[in-house]
Amino acid sequence: MDILERTLRIGKTLNIGVDLIGNLVDPITAANAVSSNNGVVTAGGVSFASNPVTVALTGVTSGTAVITINYSSASESDSQSFEVTVEEAFVEDAIINISSVKTISNYSVDTLWQNSDNIFPVEAIFLGVTFSPTLVSKAEYTIYNNSNEILVALELGSGITIDGEQFIVDIPRETMTFFGNYMHQFVIYDLEDNKLAPIFQRKITINRVPVPIVVV
């Protein structure tokens, strides 16, 4: 009886399209969706103006539930069912590990250097498991001042690259023309384009590195 299977995460809503031709000859005039366990999956409104029929499903807690769509025309009725699995929203309750890297000198995510190429990795570990960059649609790194003015803005593919299970932030020296105390943060988006809480958002000290003046 199952016509398809769907997977949801806790707290997420998914609009699914279901083809409800069935045995009906006339156009569908009424439809509703019922969940076998509203504590796992709730079924919202059904749009049946045309096929595929759209149903909004929301994940409540981990588990499985059967969704049944009942529909009818002026003279007939039918129903179709399918199973929905809800998975843990593992991004909540995150344990974050921000690592440092040794390049020409030692860098950390708390200290950077003016007029220098600053390169460091960022690794996120959720519930003891590394959050793979393959599960990320976008990544953003910013440095901003106390007035929330952005001084450095990098994104995946432009200043941020992926190396295995790490994001590599590469701030070119041409950008690091300032020094002092600021804030910086690193944010990722999941494959559903949901902007997640910052992997880190903390104070940053940029040490002054004067540019030598060549005297002729």
What's the burial of 107, exposed, middle or buried (CB within 10 Å: 0-12/13-18/19+)?
buried
pLDDT value for 213:
73
User: What domains appear along the chain, each with residue ranges and CATH number?
Assistant: 2-87 (2.60.40.10), 95-207 (2.60.40.10)
Q: What pLDDT does residue 130 have?
A: 62
Alpha-carbon distances, residue 181 vs 76, 114, 178, 208 (angstroms): 71, 12, 10, 11
State the pLDDT at residue 129: 56
| Contact call for residues 83 and 77 (beta carbons, < 8 A) | no
Please give the pLDDT value at position 94.
39
> What is the block-wise mean pLDDT of the chain (216 residues), using blocks of 10 residues?
64 76 74 89 83 83 87 84 75 39 41 91 67 84 94 94 88 94 90 81 90 73
Residue 142 sits at the vertex; the CA angle it makes with 136 and 146, to the nearest 5 degrees, is 145
Start-to-end C-alpha separation, the chain: 86
Q: How far apart are CA 47 and CA 54, in angstroms?
A: 5
pLDDT of the residue at 52: 77
For 135, phi and psi rounded to 5 degrees? -95, 10
Helix (H, G, I), strand (E, B) or coil at 60: coil
What pLDDT sits at residue 23?
61
CA 111, CA 33: separation in Å to the nearest integer? 55
DSSP string, 141-192: EEEE-TT--EEEEEEETBEEEEETTEEEEEE-TTT----EEEEEEEEEEETT
**Residue 90 confidence (pLDDT):** 45
Return the biggest CA–CA distance within the chain. 96
pTM check: above 0.75: no
**Scanning the structure block, which residue is given the tokens 């944010």?**
187
> pLDDT by residue (tens digit) across 154-207?
999 999 998 888 889 999 999 999 999 999 999 888 888 888 878 888 899 999
Half-sphere exposure of 23 (CA within 13 A, CB side): 7
